[in-house]
Structure 1
Amino acid sequence: MGPRSRVRLAKCQMLGTGFFVLLLGLSVATMAAFTHFGDQFAVISHASLERNPYQAMDHWAFYVGISLAGLLSLGATLSAVATVREAQCLMAGGFLCFALVFLVLVQVAFWRLRNPTQVEDAMLDIYDLVYDQAVRNPSSARWQELAAIQDTFLCCGKTSPFGILGSAEANLCQGKEAARQDCLQSIGSFLRTHGNITSTLTSIGLVLMVYAMLLSAFLWLAIRSGCGLDRKGRYALTSRNHGCQPQEPSLFRRAQGGPASQDPSEAKAFVHHWGPTGHLDGPPRLQG
């Protein structure tokens, strides 16, 4: 396989990789919006507690996700345009976007490995606080917040570690709500599914970024060296002395200048031939 074939293959792979990077950016933006505006997360984030540890995580995850989605879209666009136009600067910009996304994803993966249950613990702590305050004072606003959380997760109450429930806890789940799952288990199961999706997107993003950086680096070197590209030739403008006018064909000068630019003898013969009134006087006679 020659250099031209290798470069063409790399271009095709770069365009395909850019398409998948755009899909990844759309997925990351969707996950960030769902994490911030989804009912399951919003009902926990909006709990009116003196200290809500999940709010800081929620804002951090949303801004990081939107930033990653923007960088992914920008990198895919720059690399695609650079591949088509064989632009060296645009290809370098795409490589820089991919490198930044790779660094951020490495940090996210490292945080997930060190704190796999941090988000789950924060949300469960908030539910415990709302549950305890609502059970102690059923007439407070906490009871409405507890009902909103349980309706959102389709759960009811939580299992007592001692197996004994108070009167308010016993009356909390009645009728159809008694068949619902324990809220601690329901919230934990939902967050584990959400965490698995996040980990999958992070792993796919790391692989795509490594591959995109390798392709963009190879194409940048190919564009810089001009080896194997599809350019038909090189063109250069020749310098011209100041004040010199380019020569034009005599026929073009006559058409542009009219009779005034003709030779005087030719003009005189022309007038004698056609006459002063524009009628033909006879065959033209040359003047001696």
Structure 2
Amino acid sequence: MGAGQGLEGCYSCIKYLMFAFNFLFWLLGCAILGVGIWVRVDTNFKQYVDSNETFNILYTAAYILICVGAIIMVVGFLGCCGAIRESQCMLATFFLFLFIIFIILLGAGIWTIVEKDTLKDAVSQTLKDNVKRYYTDKTESAKKFMDSVQENFNCCGSTMGPIDYMPRLPPSSCLKGVLKPCDSKVFNYIRDNMVIIAGVAIGIGVVMMMGMVLSLCLCCAIRREVGKY
């Protein structure tokens, strides 16, 4: 009798842990969705995207975050329903979705590490192209882009500082006594934010692994309960 009550208590504990986990998971989806919307509508990001097509990746990342956040919210809701209704089908679907999202996160993390040097070259080349077109671009997109970068990062030019603008004088946006080029500053900024994103992704991955373990445990517990009858 005591052992049976112990198993029943363990089953109830897993069930409510699963519900609590999925509620937190749903809140996480809301947060990711909110970040995606913020990146898409924030004017600070907009000025870079509008000035240079290379930075359209910011909006691409925003759309990915919005999609992932919405999917996580749906998956979290599915897990909550599966835990409350004790549905093995819902829990199995929940596990499958978590596993797919986990693989995507893992692949994105590996791609980020592999492509780090490529990103550095892309940043340098983008800055060089915009410095070259600073005084000749009729649309002034290069001028707006470089002025924004130089003022925000307190730098000048692309790879060599004010010399990059020769034989012309450097623009007023970098005449602040600062001789450091912009490529390293911009790349370091992106890299530091990538580290933060990677840390968040690892945290989400750990949470997902916990969710997968809980869903398997609850499925097994439900199967045992069904087997009694």
TM-score range, shorter chain: 0.7 to 0.9
Task: Please identify the structure whose Cα radius of gyration is greater.
Answer: 1
Q: Distance in 2 between matches of 1:32 and 1:104?
A: 17
1:154–1:180: 8 Å Cα contact kept in structure 2? no
* Aligned-partner residue type, residue 188 of structure 2: S
SS at match of 2:134: helix
Is 1:86 paired with 2:86?
Answer: yes
1:158–1:182: 8 Å Cα contact kept in structure 2? yes
Question: 2:26 — aligned with what?
Answer: 22
Query: How is 1:200-279 mapped onto 2 (pairs within 5 angstroms)?
Result: 200-226=199-225
Question: 1:250 — aligned with what?
Answer: none
SS at match of 1:199: helix
List gaps (5 residues or longer) in structure 2: none
Is 1:190 paired with 2:194?
Answer: no
Q: Distance in 1 between matches of 2:92 and 2:178?
A: 59
Percent of matched pairs sharing the same residue: 18
Change (3 A) 1:96 1:147: same
Question: 1:101 — aligned with what?
Answer: 101
Q: Distance in 2 between matches of 1:155 and 1:75?
A: 44
List gaps (5 residues or longer) in structure 1: 235-288
Change (3 A) 1:38 1:127: farther
Q: Distance in 2 between matches of 1:67 and 1:138?
A: 36
1:54–1:119: 8 Å Cα contact kept in structure 2? no
Is 1:11 paired with 2:10?
Answer: no
Is 1:144 paired with 2:148?
Answer: no
CA-to-aligned-CA distance 1:195-253 (integer Å, 9 cap, x gap): 01210111012111111011112212322332699xxxx8xxxxxxxxxxxxxxxxxxx
Q: Distance in 2 between matches of 1:42 and 1:22?
A: 29
CA apart distance, 1:37: 4.2
2:32–2:69: 8 Å Cα contact kept in structure 1? yes
1:105–1:202: 8 Å Cα contact kept in structure 2? yes
SS at match of 1:158: coil
Q: Distance in 1 between matches of 2:44 and 2:153?
A: 10
CA-to-aligned-CA distance 1:121-149 (integer Å, 9 cap, x gap): 434432221122114x3876132332234
Is 1:45 paired with 2:57?
Answer: no
SS at match of 2:207: helix
CA apart distance, 1:187: 1.6
Question: 1:64 — aligned with what?
Answer: 64
* Aligned-partner residue type, residue 224 of structure 1: R
Structure number with the higher helix fraction is 2
CA apart distance, 1:96: 2.4
Aligned residues: 223
* Aligned-partner residue type, residue 84 of structure 1: I
Q: TM-score, normalised by structure 1?
A: 0.64
Change (3 A) 1:130 1:37: farther
Q: Distance in 2 between matches of 1:40 and 1:191?
A: 15
SS at match of 2:206: helix
Change (3 A) 1:227 1:160: closer
1:131–1:146: 8 Å Cα contact kept in structure 2? yes
* Aligned-partner residue type, residue 47 of structure 2: V
CA RMSD of aligned residues (A): 3.3
1:54–1:122: 8 Å Cα contact kept in structure 2? no
1:99–1:213: 8 Å Cα contact kept in structure 2? yes
CA apart distance, 1:28: 2.8
